[in-house]
Structure 1
Amino acid sequence: MKLHHNVALLAAAALALGGCATAVPPVEVTRFHNAVPAWAPGTRYAIATAPLDASGSGGPAAGMPSLEWNSYRAAVDQQLQRQGLVAAGSGERAPLLVRIDFARSERVNGGGNSPVSVGVGGSTGGWRSGVGLGIGFNLGGGPRRITDIELAVRIDDAASGNALWEGRAIAAIPAKAPAAQPSLAAAKLAEALFKDFPGESGRTISVP
């Protein structure tokens, strides 16, 4: 009886450890906008092929793998369409231009947090504030490799070039966890970024 009890405890512990290894951490999300209009269902948008910030580290212009770029584009496309927007066809003029930027980096987490500075720029009035988001966690057992993943999206008025809405989502995921894979990470960050769109301007929230 005691043997069976010990086996059950070991099995439960293994399941708990497995859950910790694959758990998706919360995503830190910040949005800025100036009274985003209620776009009519069917409003067309086009996604820019250049990164949001030419000096930044996202999109094909920065040499990121095309498969990863496609993962983020597809994830953002899905979220925009859930808002009732429609992707413009080839050669079709769209009133909205969507810019996407993303970054991925790895670090060793020994228990301390590395601050991440938010600073997209643009005309909606907030990204230059230099807000620091301390992100990271230690599951125990010594230093672990952490993948920091960041997604930034800006929706511009195509005619004027003015930014109408912009947001940034950041997550720190164990490097070996399935959630760190580009397709899963892109879907998670995009979903968090567009949660309760347009969101409260200037506020940072944690999305589980």
Structure 2
Amino acid sequence: MTDMKKTLLSIALALPLAACATTAPPSPVEVTRFHQTDSLAQLGQGAIFVVDAPAAQGKSEGSLELAPYKAAVARELAQLGYAESGRDGANHIAEVRLERFVLEGDDNRRGPVSVGVGGSTGGYRSGVGIGLGFNLGGGGSSERLGTEMAVVIRNVASNAVLWEGRARFEVGPDHPLAQPAANADVVADALFQEFPGGNGETIEVKVSQ
């Protein structure tokens, strides 16, 4: 093999590695939680039903996109002392809502293509109103996949909101943590760390690369 061919081969082999190296690393997960002081005694116990947040007008409920996030939330709630239950046997309901989107460039512009697949509700104090959707981008090296998940825990009998939390996370679209199951585990784990968390406090939870 000539020196020129060897050089060209080396460049060709290096290109995929360079492309992988440019994918955006995971950001910390930004987490904000809210709760009422008189509700703390009710948290972390009892039977709970994990459900999609009520659908916003014109959007469908029960998306497959939300399934790994609901499963991750259910696992975290079980570790906190809740017993997962069907709707009829639950005394608490956990409403999960989600948005996934593509951020382009350094100015955090969202990608232009969005497919709505779920619902949103406003928070009782935080104003969290995150719609469930998935935005499709072109996969450029400067793009980052963003995830915002919010969970509201309600008392079934009174429908009162006992706790609400929101987690936001960004990662390169080619990173393993961009995949739905791994992505869901990251945001759910961060959201419920040191539950119930400080009321109104925003923290950052570091993510392993």
TM-score, structure 2 length as denominator?
A: 0.70
Q: Does 1:24 align with 2:20?
A: no
Report the equivalent of 1:126.
126
Whole-Å Cα distance in 1 between the matches of residues 202 and 58 of structure 2?
22
Q: Aligned to 1:108, which of 104, 109, 112?
A: 104
Report the equivalent of 1:95.
91
* C-alpha RMSD of matched pairs (Å): 3.2
1:57, 1:101 within 8 Å by CA — same for their partners in 2? no
Counting aligned pairs with the same residue, the percent is: 32
Q: State the one-letter code of the partner of 1:176.
A: D
Whole-Å Cα distance in 2 between the matches of residues 56 and 202 of structure 1?
29
Q: State the one-letter code of the partner of 2:71.
A: A
Q: How many residues align?
A: 171
Report the equivalent of 1:177.
175
Give SS of 2:41's match: coil
Q: Aligned to 2:69, which of 72, 80, 84?
A: 72
Whole-Å Cα distance in 2 between the matches of residues 56 and 78 of structure 1?
30
Report the equivalent of 1:188.
186
Structure 1, residues 146-178: CA drift from partner, whole Å, max 9, x if none?
Answer: 111111100001111111000110011111111
Q: After TM superposition, what 4+ stretches of structure 1 lie above 3 angstroms from structure 2?
A: 17-23, 38-42
Whole-Å Cα distance in 2 between the matches of residues 127 and 52 of structure 1?
15
Give SS of 2:40's match: coil
Whole-Å Cα distance in 2 between the matches of residues 74 and 56 of structure 1?
25
Q: State the one-letter code of the partner of 1:78.
A: R
1:105, 1:148 within 8 Å by CA — same for their partners in 2? yes
Report the equivalent of 1:3.
none
Report the equivalent of 1:155.
153
Q: State the one-letter code of the partner of 1:177.
A: H
Give SS of 1:94's match: coil
Report the equivalent of 1:9.
none
Report the equivalent of 1:7.
none
Q: 1:91 to 1:184 in 2, by over 3 A?
A: closer
TM-score, structure 1 length as denominator?
A: 0.70
1:96, 1:155 within 8 Å by CA — same for their partners in 2? yes
Structure 1, residues 51-98: CA drift from partner, whole Å, max 9, x if none?
Answer: 32522899x61x74x1x322111100111011111011x464211011
- Any unmatched runs of 5+ in structure 1? 1-14, 131-141
